[in-house]
Structure 1
Amino acid sequence: MPSGGIPIGKLFGISLILHYSWFFIFALVTWALTTGYFPVAYPDWSLTTSIIASLVTSLLFFASVLAHEMMHSIVARSSGIPVKSITLFIFGGVAQISEEPKEPRTEFKIAIAGPLTSIVLGGIFIGIWLLLPTRFEALTAVSFWLGWINLFLAGFNLLPGFPLDGGRVLRSILWWRSGNLRRATRWASNVGRGLGFAIIFAGIWMIFYGLWFNGIWLAFIGWFLTNAAARSYHQVVLQHMLQGHTVREIMNRDCLTVPPNITIDKLVNDHILPSGNHCLVVTTGSRLQGMVTLQNVKAFPRRQWANKTVVEVMTPLDKIQRVNPDDDLASVLKMLTEQDINQLPVVENDNIVGIIGRDNLLSFINVRDRLGI
């Protein structure tokens, strides 16, 4: 999932984001249409006509990509799966679906919705091209290109390589037949990696035959698919390892706490340096007040450490995430990853009962991985 970008609004309650790489691919598609496709297909057009047609075509193409991802999202939400956002980036679009489907049928419906949308859009644009009179040449030209590119988009996404839509369709079928999500994901991911390597080799072959730009671009797509397949399988393995286990099992019960009224100097010299902890819980008695990290401390010049107190630099309770001892480990891993934090306080009845961090989860995962369970 690409991180960062520019929010451009919401559609059906789903945030829409333009990743910074999208501007590059938008400019590249527009340039290719302006200098390559339209001047060759329509040599009588002026440069201005080609530029306008290219801009309109590029915008409608990415609107088609958005529609593809939006349909994934709508079907996911109708199945009770939250969708946070849709991001358009250099390789198209991706919907940030918050959790994996619980059954193969749901996976199949979500996966197939996008390609079907692209097929329908392709049919509509081809229909416009066929039905409009020839005097509407610019409109028919745009429609022709959009029709075939949407059909190509559907065909490419239906290739049976996870995590492409076709790979997810394949996984849903394998999951249904085997009853084992992890095994189905491994098989579908292996197909995805094989497909990615094949695309890379095809790109290298094109480079040797002088098609440098197309070859490099194709190899880059293959590399992205290969890595995405491996990463997706790794995520499912982690989910499988953490499934059914709670925070209570691995949290640190003897978490280091500090009072809110000590200075940063005292915090560093008496607590952080001797313990090596990067994150400490701030409490009054057993009541949680907040957390203080190295980042909080480093935000202030060292000359102020003797005068600043913990309460002035800590992250207060109302601004930190917290977990319950009975929360499942998969949700904790997701929270740590999405919020880009290392540790979370474990709170029960407004009292701090422990702390859980990435190191706890990594240790838990490594042990289970070595044991093969």
Structure 2
Amino acid sequence: MQQMVNGIFFGKAFGIPLRLHYSWFIVFALVTWALTVGYFPQVYPHWSTTTAIVAGLLTSLLFFGSVLAHELAHSLVAQAAGIRIHSITLFIFGGVSQMAEEPGRPQVEFRMALAGPATSLVIGGTFLALYFFLKDIPEFVRAMSFWLGWINLVLAGFNLIPGFPLDGGRVLRSLLWWHSGRLLSATRTASNIGRGVGYLFIFIGIGLIFYGSWLNGLWLAFIGWFLENAAATSYRQLALMDMLKGHTASELMTREWPAVPPHLTVQQLVHEQIFASGRRSFPVVDADKIVGLVTIHDVKSVPKEQWTYKTVSDIMTPASKLKSVEPNDDLGKVFRILTEHNVNQVPVIKNGNLLGMIARDSLLTFISIRS
């Protein structure tokens, strides 16, 4: 399961930034509450409240550590295949890896997809081995090991359901792709199955609600809605990228885009450029080389009383931090930059020279006409 970028940074593993989406705190609290108030007191009624709380917290943390390990396995296989991983984010439904690109070969996707469930199976088997074969370890540890063992097996089994974008759906897509050589067709089939799985979960969830198990029913229906939406969105995105394939940045860029020098004051920028042209962004050029980009958002960050002496170079985004493309790059790369980095324009640069700019509106119009 891919794609989610916002969140709180909490560390790195194998060079990959790790994040917690805000929704993760909801599911962490729910799992901890269920373990502390429900599972452990029922199975071990002789435990004190403090023991149940500590066990619940530790087990919940170890569970999400297992989810992270599952996602890391996907990412490490991807990295070994030369795919850059921007980050891993834990959220309400598990974890997602933000990849720089989709796998280019079905064999790579097959290995990537199986790596996560295989890791969960190994983790689950290890915890269950602790429970069944090490009878002399403290009951506290055995209790946590049993729950963590079976929940990791459940996690592996759930992810192997053959509905895209679950891991099982990715395995199915890779096999269909491998057989037919057509990624888009394989994705359409796997996504339709994924949507079917989502609708089935919603139907079962509604049934559980009517039978009185409203919490489990609501949760299952929510998961079903997420799967259906993710499957449909994944196919639409791939279809869009397929449509953009073969079209280059040079086709869409605006060559006559006004540039400004770095020594221009903010006041001059506003009155002589923004008001005059109606543009919201300007490449900053010095000696025919692009040195940065200044936008109306940069201007808004400067108090008005400082406009007379603050210069463009003080507030611009330097060229080293810009996300840019070359004229022969396909429009799919432009689309990824616009969406992943939430910017409104992408400079087209070659050998340090600015050739033009591509605005978000221009790309959206291009997509709309060809859809």
TM over 0.5: yes
Residue 7 of structure 2 corresponds to residue 8 of structure 1: no
| Map of 1:206 onto structure 2 | 208
CA distance in structure 2 between the partners assigned to 1:133 and 1:259 by the alignment: 74
2:119 counterpart residue number: 117
Q: Is the 8 A contact 2:5 2:87 kept in 1?
A: no
Cα deviation 1:114-144 (Å, max 9, x = unaligned): 1111112222222222112277322222121
Tell me which of 341, 344, 351 is aligned to 1:342: 344
- Map 1:73-92 to 2 at 5 A: 73-92=75-94
Displacement, 1:304? 4.9
Contact 1:30 1:55 in 2 (8 A): yes
Look up the SS of the partner of 2:235 in the other structure.
Answer: helix
Question: Do 1:199 and 1:221's aligned partners in 2 also have CA atoms closer than 8 Å?
Answer: yes
> SS of the counterpart of 2:101?
coil
Counterparts of residues 129-144 of structure 1 (less than 5 Å): 129-133=131-135, 136-144=138-146
Secondary structure, counterpart of 2:255 in structure 1 = coil
Q: 1:319 to 1:127 in 2, by over 3 A?
A: closer
What is the deviation of 1:186? 1.1
In the alignment, does 2:228 pair up with 1:226? yes
Q: Which runs of 5+ in 2 are unaligned?
A: none
Question: Which residue does 1:325 correspond to in 2?
Answer: 327
More displaced 10-residue stretch of structure 1: 334-343 or 135-144: 135-144
Deviation at 1:183, TM superposition (A): 1.1
Alpha-carbon distance between aligned partners in 1 of 2:156 and 2:251, rounded to the nearest angstrom: 45
| Structure 2 residue aligned with 1:290 | 292
- In the superposition, relative to structure 1, how do residues 326 and 38 fare at CA in structure 2: closer, same or farther (>3 Å)? same
Q: Secondary structure at the match of 2:115?
A: helix
Matched, 1:61 2:63: yes
CA distance in 1, matches of 2:20, 2:268: 45
The TM-score, its normalising length taken from structure 2, stands at 0.92
The match for 2:197 is 195
The 1-side partners of 2:298 and 2:318 are apart by 11
Aligned position for 1:238: 240
Query: Could you give the per-residue CA deviations for residues 38-71 of structure 1, whole angstroms, max 9, x where no partner exists?
Result: 1111222221221222222112211211111111
Instruction: Give a deviation string over 1:159-189, Cα, whole Å, max 9, x none.
Output: 1111000110111111122211111111111
Structure 1 residue 331 displacement after superposition: 2.1
User: Is this contact kept in 2: 1:202–1:219, CA < 8 A?
Assistant: yes
Residues 315 and 80 of structure 1: is their aligned pair in 2 closer, same or farther, counting only changes over 3 Å?
Answer: closer
Q: Which amino acid aligns with 2:251?
A: E
- CA contact under 8 A between 1:323 and 1:345: conserved in structure 2? yes
Quote the sequence identity (%).
Answer: 58
Q: Deviations over 1:227-248 (max 9, x none)?
A: 1112211221122122233211
Code of the residue aligned with 1:345 in structure 2: it is P
Check the 8 A contact 2:263/2:313 in 1, yes or no: yes
**Would you say the 8 A contact 2:4–2:97 is kept in 1?**
no
- 1:78–1:301 CA distance, 2 compared to 1 (3 A): closer
> Is the Cα contact below 8 Å between 1:134 and 1:140 reproduced in 2?
no
1:355 corresponds, among 340, 351, 357, to 357
Gaps of 5+ in 1: none
What's the secondary structure of 2:356's corresponding residue?
Answer: strand
TM-score (norm 1): 0.91
Q: Which moved more, 1:68-77 or 1:6-15?
A: 6-15
What CA deviation, in whole Å up to 9, does each residue of 1:187-237 have, x standing for no partner? 111111111122122222222222222222222211111111122112211
**CA distance in 2 between partners of 1:76 and 1:178 (Å):** 23
For 1:49 and 1:308, the matched residues in 2 are separated by 60
Give the secondary-structure state (helix, strand or coil) at the position aligned to 2:5.
coil
Q: Which residue of 1 is the match for residue 172 of structure 2?
A: 170
C-alpha contact (below 8 Å) 2:284/2:291 kept by paired residues: yes
Q: By how many angstroms is 1:275 displaced? A: 3.2
Task: Tell me, in whole angstroms, the C-alpha distance in 2 between the residues paired with 1:195 and 1:289.
Answer: 50
8 Å Cα contact 2:120-2:155 kept in structure 1: yes
Give the equivalent residue in structure 2 for 1:18: 20
Q: Tell me which amino acid in the other structure corresponds to 1:268.
A: V
CA-CA distance at 1:265 after TM superposition: 4.5
The DSSP-based 3-state class of the residue aligned with 1:291 is: strand
- Residue 330 to residue 38, structure 1, CA distance change in 2 (3 Å): same
State whether structure 2 residue 278 is matched by structure 1 residue 276.
yes
The number of aligned residues is 369
Q: Structure 1: which amino acid aligns with 2:103?
A: P
2:183 is equivalent to residue 181 of structure 1 = yes
